[in-house]
Amino acid sequence: MNIQEISPDYRQAVNEILMREWSCPPCISRGRAIDTTMLPGFVSLCDNKINGVVTYNIEGSECEITTLNSFDENKGVGTALINATLAAAKEKGCSRLWLITTNDDINAIRFYQLKGFELAAVHINAMDLSRKMKPSIPLLGMDNIPIKHEFEFEIRL
């Protein structure tokens, strides 16, 4: 596994992944529309093929992970991408690394806790506002669980 910053060489492929996996742009987080196609991040490469992507957004002293995808589950890709983002946030002097996931994504909730993220807040019915901004967000998510709430996880740096 080879972790690299998203460079111009990878930007088009990353943006295609963001469109396919997240229907981005925009990504909606905490009532804000974010153009992830312009954000920094990292790719994971295996045999010169992208097998994972993370994008992040720094505002003030906080770094938000806006998207995370691993296409080789349980092989350390997501962990390596989180660790690269954590290092970048520390290097840039951030005091907090945080992210939003939805209530239906039980695998993500487990994963982030195992990686040291703490549940910082639950934003009840936050997806109502998100759907006003991006109507394509489905009503049902993983295992047909209604997508209603945003779970905010953080690591204090």
d(CA 147, CA 54): 22
Under CATH, to which class is 2-156 assigned? alpha beta
Query: Comparing 9-13, 32-36, 64-68, 95-99, which segment has the lowest mean pLDDT?
Result: 32-36
Query: Comparing 3-7, 23-27, 42-46, 110-114, which segment has the lowest mean pLDDT?
Result: 23-27
For 24-80, what is each residue's pLDDT tens digit? 778 788 878 888 899 999 999 999 899 999 999 999 999 999 999 999 888 999 999
**Hey, where are the domains in the chain?**
2-156
7: exposed, middle or buried (Cβ count in 10 Å: 0-12, 13-18, 19+): exposed
Contacts for 97 with CB less than 8 Å, ≥ 6 apart: 62, 63, 64, 65, 85, 86, 89, 154, 155, 157
Model pTM?
Answer: 0.92
CA pseudo-torsion sign 81, 42, 132, 30: positive
DSSP string, 16-79: HHHHHHH-PSPEEETTEEE-GGGS-EEEEEETTEEEEEEEEEEETTEEEEEEEEESSTTTTHHH
Q: Please, what is the average pLDDT of the chain?
A: 93
